Amino acid sequence: MNKELAATEVKALLEKIRTDYRENAKLHPRAFDIVEFEKRYLQILQMRGNITKFISEEVVFLEQLKSKYKELVAKKEAGKGETLNRIMDESLERLSKYSKIDFHPMAKAEIRYFYGAMVDFAEIELPVLLNIFKGTIEFSQIQDSIVQIERIGVTRRGVPSLRAQEAIKNFLDANGNTVMIEKVSQNLLKDGCFALKNLATSIHELVSKNRVNPELIIRINEKDFPKASANFNGRKFGESLDRVTERCIGIIQDFRMNALLGMDN
């Protein structure tokens, strides 16, 4: 779907998606959860995201889910011992490259991976940005995003980050209410990805306006930031900023937040 959909087309496709979820949920409700779809749709409306992009991704996701379901049913009937739960496991495969931090039992796997991704970003990519921009006029353009990312990803001596601590408190306050628990998780995911998007956008603007000398070399204190030093020391500013931007966009896409944030690519 490259062009924007008309309102009638959006309505028709949404009804088709909902019908598919309802029909397939009769056989396996855990895999075909229409409630989760409605939550994603509500979020895209609230954030005024790209509806065409959202529907396109949901159609592809649903078709893949149906295909996997059919494959597993066939394997089960053939006695190969596959289980339908693998459908849900496969949806997390794309996240396995990130650290998985079990900061609370109520946090679902996706949020544990996301928290791990943000902690790694704070340890590896953030020191690069501080090295390049700290003490410059340009730092003000990325400061708000950095503060938000630090609140989510910066841990001290094994203590969870500020946002993780807030999430833990909210999980406990939810007292088992699955709707509230899901809201806490989605807010953490949404806020983190929103900060990453703003950061990537600001970096792009600064580079395109030649506000950064791309030939200067990264020098990060190895003792203070060992992971950042190992990954970036000796690299040029321009190359390093490209890598940071790619990391921001990669996290957003891997956690399927690009449509919600209005990112077409």
pLDDT confidence bin for 202, thresholds 50/70/90: very high
Cα(116)–Cα(224) distance, integer angstroms: 20
Does the pLDDT at position 219 exceed 60? Answer: yes
In this prediction, residue 80 has a pLDDT band, given cuts at 50, 70 and 90, of: very low
Give me the mean pLDDT over the 171-181 stretch. Answer: 88
Q: pLDDT tens for residues 18-48? A: 998 888 888 777 778 888 888 888 888 888 8
If one counts every other C-beta atom within 10 angstroms of the C-beta of residue 225, the result is 20
| Farthest CA pair distance, the chain | 66
- Reported confidence tier of residue 77, pLDDT bands at 50, 70, 90: low
Check pLDDT > 50 for residue 183: yes
Higher pLDDT: 81 or 34? It is 34
Mean pLDDT of the chain: 88
Q: Tokens in use for 197? A: 């998007």
- Using one digit for the tens of pLDDT, what is the confidence trace for 147-174? 999 999 999 888 999 999 999 999 999 8
Residue 94 and residue 137: Cα distance in Å, rounded? Answer: 38
For 184, the token pair is 């806490």
**Smallest Cα–Cα separation from 133: which of 227, 226, 202?**
202
- What is the arithmetic mean of pLDDT over 133-150? 96
d(CA 135, CA 103) in angstroms, rounded, equals: 34
Report the C-alpha gap between 216 and 196 in whole angstroms.
Answer: 24
pLDDT of residue 176: 83
- Name the pTM for this structure: 0.68
Q: Where are the domains positioned within the chain? A: 7-91, 109-254
Range list of β-strands (E), the chain? none
Helix (H, G, I), strand (E, B) or coil at 235: coil
